[in-house]
Structure 1
Amino acid sequence: MKTILTSLLAILFATLFAGCNVPALPTVSPPPPAATEAPAETPAHTVTLTILYTDDEHGWMEGQSEGAGAANLLGLWQKQFGYDPADPRFLVLSGGDNWTGPAISTWFKGESMVEVMNAMGYDASAVGNHEFDFGLENMQYTISLADFPYLAANMRNKSDGQISESLGVQPYAIIDAGGLKVGVIGLANIHTPKVTNPANVQDFDFEPYVETLQQTAPEVRAAGADVVMVISHLCNQELRHTTAKTKDLGIVLFGGGHCHESLAEKAGDAVLITGGPYLQTFAWAQLAIDPESGAVVSAKYDVEANRGGPADPDVAAIVAKWRQETDATLGEPIGYLAQTLPERSEPMLKLVTETWLLGYPNADVAITNSGGVRDDLRAGPITIADIISVMPFDNVLIDMKMTGAQIEAFMDAQGKKVFAGGVHQQGGHWELNRTGEPLQADAVYHVLVNDYMYAGGGSYQKLAEYDPEGYDTGIDWRQPVIDWIIARKSTPEQPLDEAIRALGK
């Protein structure tokens, strides 16, 4: 039986993480891994822990392809490793960014994904930047639904330098695993204010990784941990750097995330793993640990595809329940597309920005960040759920004023990170679509941007500097897209494709 003790509110959480009384299944040995380290001599008694690691799940409980969803992943773990959530020799960990993605998770602000992760037996998750997407009140509520802690030792209140207990975030957890007390420290990404809406994290500092671990690892050991691990929302390069700078702390495993990469390697005495995004792949490590010293005497680790796993019926039923609720709420067709619009393609970005201008005709130009568009718009019937999957963030439109010179300077500096509607490049300058005339350097134009950009997310601080008094229209950034699609009354015989190609002309 696994139990979890967090560093704060330990008594309160003791029953929450008490585990269940289902007997452990027999352990099935995994196939020979790609990476293995064997000692010259193994102590007679060791404890082998199996760590199953995912990150950047982004709500893809159904999977991006057939047979690659959460239920299949759990079935694969059961088939390959003999995984049982009640078996204390397993740890299931996440590097964060659990929620924001397709409508089945985004519309319910992560509640559905947390229920899936509870059923899969997750033991802890790092706090990712997208955990903040739906605001702090929702973050607090969704964390309260989890049967596992959300960890970020380097996320501190600006007011007092403490971890935000009220939000439900903890610096670390101590988990009883296979007779060992495993201390798991969480790290949020220090760039979080740039990759979520800065307004949602304005009250927090995100402290440097190395200094945080130098402070926290001794605390975890003093609290009784035999073994220390780190889960984080760090890209592989950051993870390697942090590992190299903390060799003296005896941390046996570092898990990463954020950059949608995968990783399985050894750095000194530590194993580094990153699972990859959308539950398409996962990382695992098996560590044989000397319980007397807490030293890892042998390690196996790898990254594998979520392929070939039989769907776990309990998780499949949870996913089916949320699919039914999504379809009941958002499944009514509003249009029809003959050909798929690829994520972040020019036609897709034109659909977004040009419909903003049609829905808010006071504006001359519309600019969006390409990274805010997160999915293809697939051929066939289009539903509101599809639009939410493409535009998963809860943004509103800001009407701000910029000169022609500022628009040109901003677009040229940002390159492909942004896309503009209402204007086009002609030679070495930008022209206004509706007049065909070049932007006038000193003329003032009304420009629509989303509030994430206006708040300085993604290093777009220049926008608020150009116009500190931007007008919050209160218009959900998806609404003009939805309204335009509905107004077209498209059918399989008369799909939207041609109308999309004509936007901005």
Structure 2
Amino acid sequence: MRFFRLIALALACGATSACSGFWTRGAPPEPIHITLVGINDFHGQVEPHRTPLKDGQVVEEGGAATLAAYVARLRAANPGGVVLLDAGDMFQGTLPSNLTEGAVVIDVYNHLGVDAAAIGNHEFDYGPVGPGSMAQRPGDDALGALKARIGQARFPMLSANLRDASTGARPAWTGNDGTYLMKVKGVKVGIIGLSTEDTPKVTNPANVSSLRFLPLAPAALEASRSLRARGAEVVVVVAHAGGKCADLSNPRDTSSCDEGDAEILSMLKRLPPGTVDAIVAGHTHQTMGHFFAQVPIIETTGLARSLGVVELFVDPDSRRILPERSRIQAAIPLCAKVDATQGTCDGRRLRNEPQVRLEPASFMAEPVVPDAQVAPLLAPALELAREAQNRQLGLVAATPLARGYTEEGVLGNLVADVLRASANADVGLMNPGGVRADLAAGPLTFGQVFEVLPFDNTVAVATLTGPELSRLLHLAYGNDMGSVFAVSGLEVTLERCPGPGRLSGVALAGGQPLVVDSRKMYRVALPDFLARGGDGLEPLLSTVPPERIEMTPVDGLDLREALVAYGKARGGTLEAPDLGRVRYTGVAGCQQEAR
């Protein structure tokens, strides 16, 4: 009947001006446009990465001021429609951030107008407020530094899967239940924060001993239902959990994505359709910009080099996402100036070019102008960092010392030697994730050593039987990421393909067999982070009697101080150790074939 009434009305109107708006009033309204902007693993990178070029110029990449310019441009393109989210690991990693226990990062984020952030594993690294990364005195609060940053922030820090270990309740000190409900252009948008379940393994376990990190999927489902019940029309997860996709050219093609070892994809597969509408991921420092079951997921390599964008469109009548309209811009580089030929500011690509012509970058058809208001925010922290950065150590690196991660590296071997020598141990063991930069040849400053070893690890010793040491090494090399621990006093043989059975042989230095006998004991020097069970070693070390694990720092040294002492004991020069402590067997490239 409605159809016939419309026809009659149209005939009655004819071409009179009184009915001129008849057809236009029936046109559907435009969808509501929401722009999600995602950053992750900022790690205190308030300054740009600076790379000297062959022609004498310096190219800059990222940093807080350039990030602010890109965010401002996105907001200008969609006024009132931008949601800025951080997927965790905001603080740890640079001198300006570490010397202020992350306060300078919060100043920047408050200025940027961050809407919400996930709590990452490294948010727990600083321990109590002030010197020392662990609670050591009566009254020390192992979560004190993080609580101070939460109190400083003008945005919520979220972890819906975080619980108090003793009560099972959500910790009151976060100030929320792990969710945040906000209005964007009249649309109720719910944000769910999540922390990686592996947090106790990838921060100092002592700092999170009072906490539990629940499985992601059940926590996300519970939080989504809560948000929907409170009126949320769009639900977004911001998670310190991620994955990896090698090819970003087609967001609908997920064939390049590693779905076998992606914590965020494992979570999504366990959620009923419609639980979440978009995900900003982090933790793995790998790129993602793809749709999985129509849910867009973005992640960048972190360190303020890029940001990701998801554009959502909401039907104004049904108040639901229109998935066919969703768009992804993955890993947008943050450049103030770019090479005129290659259009990039990536120093890793430009450093060997004979000549580079830098010109102002543009974003969304507008020139990029770094935010001048950021500099005053950074000034006090940068002054503290400069004083520390330039302090000479009376130490020289004889040659460049490169780290390794999925391969053996001379710098990792050197740190393993430092551990072993400092504790007069039989074996030194160093996790590759604890070595964060290369060392250039020449005189060394504190700042350079800090960049290599930014975590406040100390030298610990575990006295292990032969079978225990063998099991420890199986755990160390049995990770799915393919990371290779550095060793001193040992020679190990690995299968090419990562996985639990990767370690195929181990001997003492020089080829002498490891005595796998419970009566033979070995002193193993390692960072206290590992001695507490970090990086997957907890299944073995939790079974070792406490009296056989010496957590009191050897000679009161942290690992940076131990490195300096090691060099000075050798005439003030750090020599490059030989490679060859790690050997391989099996078919080369089997990791890629397995994928």
* Shorter-chain TM-score range: 0.7 to 0.9
Closer, same or farther: CA 218–437 of 1 in aligned 2, 3 Å: closer
**Alignment match of 2:410 (pick from 343, 347, 362):** 347
**Which letter does structure 2 place at the counterpart of 1:463?**
L
Is 1:332 the equivalent of 2:326?
no
SS of match in other structure, 2:464: strand
The residue aligned with 2:72 is 78
Closer, same or farther: CA 481–83 of 1 in aligned 2, 3 Å: farther
Distance 1:277 1:129 in 2: 15
Distance 1:222 1:318 in 2: 40
**Which letter does structure 1 place at the counterpart of 2:387?**
A
Closer, same or farther: CA 412–208 of 1 in aligned 2, 3 Å: closer
8 Å CA contact 1:339, 1:378 repeated in 2 = yes
**Alignment match of 1:418 (pick from 485, 509, 521):** 485
Is 1:139 the equivalent of 2:146?
yes
The residue aligned with 2:527 is 450
8 Å CA contact 1:422, 1:504 repeated in 2 = no
SS of match in other structure, 1:376: coil
8 Å CA contact 1:63, 1:278 repeated in 2 = no
The residue aligned with 1:463 is 541
State the 1:473 CA deviation. 2.6
Distance 2:505 2:34 in 1: 60
The residue aligned with 1:266 is 291
Closer, same or farther: CA 246–100 of 1 in aligned 2, 3 Å: same
Distance 2:233 2:240 in 1: 24
The residue aligned with 1:302 is 329
Quick check: 267-276 or 88-97, which moved more?
267-276
SS of match in other structure, 2:326: strand
The residue aligned with 1:37 is none
Distance 1:245 1:365 in 2: 42
Q: 1:328-351, CA deviations, whole angstroms, 9 ceiling, x for partnerless residues?
A: 234212134364322335321232
8 Å CA contact 1:181, 1:227 repeated in 2 = yes
8 Å CA contact 1:54, 1:276 repeated in 2 = no
Distance 1:171 1:364 in 2: 46
**Alignment match of 1:369 (pick from 408, 428, 431):** 431
Distance 1:48 1:429 in 2: 58
SS of match in other structure, 1:313: coil
Distance 1:503 1:264 in 2: 37
Higher Rg of the two aligned structures: 2
Distance 1:217 1:488 in 2: 59
**Which letter does structure 1 place at the counterpart of 2:413?**
K
The residue aligned with 1:57 is 42
State the 1:164 CA deviation. 0.7
SS of match in other structure, 2:551: strand
**Alignment match of 1:94 (pick from 86, 98, 102):** 86
**Which letter does structure 2 place at the counterpart of 1:365?**
V
Stretches of structure 1 lacking an aligned partner (at least 5 in a row): 1-40, 491-495
**Alignment match of 2:181 (pick from 147, 165, 174):** 174
TM-score, normalising length: structure 1: 0.81
The residue aligned with 1:69 is 63
**Which letter does structure 1 place at the counterpart of 2:153?**
A
State the 1:125 CA deviation. 0.6
8 Å CA contact 1:371, 1:417 repeated in 2 = no
Q: 1:367-415, CA deviations, whole angstroms, 9 ceiling, x for partnerless residues?
A: 2212211222234542222222222222222222123454345335533
Aligned runs of 1:125-274 on 2, under 5 Å? 125-135=117-127, 136-168=143-175, 170-236=177-243, 237-274=262-299
8 Å CA contact 2:34, 2:81 repeated in 1 = yes
Closer, same or farther: CA 254–158 of 1 in aligned 2, 3 Å: same
Distance 2:397 2:217 in 1: 50
State the 1:194 CA deviation. 2.1
Distance 1:137 1:471 in 2: 25
**Which letter does structure 1 place at the counterpart of 2:327?**
K
State the 1:452 CA deviation. 1.6
Distance 1:408 1:473 in 2: 24
Is 1:480 the equivalent of 2:565?
no
SS of match in other structure, 2:419: helix
**Which letter does structure 1 place at the counterpart of 2:45?**
W
Is 1:316 the equivalent of 2:316?
no
Closer, same or farther: CA 276–81 of 1 in aligned 2, 3 Å: farther
SS of match in other structure, 1:453: helix
Closer, same or farther: CA 302–429 of 1 in aligned 2, 3 Å: closer
8 Å CA contact 1:106, 1:388 repeated in 2 = no
Closer, same or farther: CA 144–291 of 1 in aligned 2, 3 Å: farther
8 Å CA contact 1:173, 1:185 repeated in 2 = yes
SS of match in other structure, 2:96: helix
The residue aligned with 1:48 is 33
SS of match in other structure, 2:307: strand
The residue aligned with 1:24 is none
Q: 1:395-446, CA deviations, whole angstroms, 9 ceiling, x for partnerless residues?
A: 222222123454345335533542222444699652358xx96554443232
8 Å CA contact 1:93, 1:122 repeated in 2 = yes
Is 1:289 the equivalent of 2:367?
no
Closer, same or farther: CA 467–222 of 1 in aligned 2, 3 Å: same
Closer, same or farther: CA 198–413 of 1 in aligned 2, 3 Å: closer
Distance 1:466 1:354 in 2: 24
**Which letter does structure 2 place at the counterpart of 1:69?**
G
State the 1:314 CA deviation. 1.6
SS of match in other structure, 1:71: helix
Closer, same or farther: CA 409–288 of 1 in aligned 2, 3 Å: closer
Closer, same or farther: CA 269–365 of 1 in aligned 2, 3 Å: closer
Q: How many residues align?
A: 454
Distance 2:151 2:317 in 1: 36
The residue aligned with 2:256 is none
**Which letter does structure 2 place at the counterpart of 1:378?**
A
Stretches of structure 2 lacking an aligned partner (at least 5 in a row): 1-25, 51-59, 128-142, 244-261, 336-360, 362-367, 478-482, 494-503, 582-595
TM-score, normalising length: structure 2: 0.69
State the 1:294 CA deviation. 2.2
SS of match in other structure, 2:49: coil
Distance 1:110 1:402 in 2: 37
**Alignment match of 1:400 (pick from 462, 477, 482):** 462
**Which letter does structure 2 place at the counterpart of 1:459?**
G
Distance 1:69 1:338 in 2: 31
State the 1:269 CA deviation. 4.4
SS of match in other structure, 2:378: helix
Give the structure, 1 or 2, with the largest relative contact order (CA under 8 Å, sep 6 or more): 1
State the 1:326 CA deviation. 0.6
State the 1:306 CA deviation. 1.8
Aligned runs of 1:11-22 on 2, under 5 Å? none
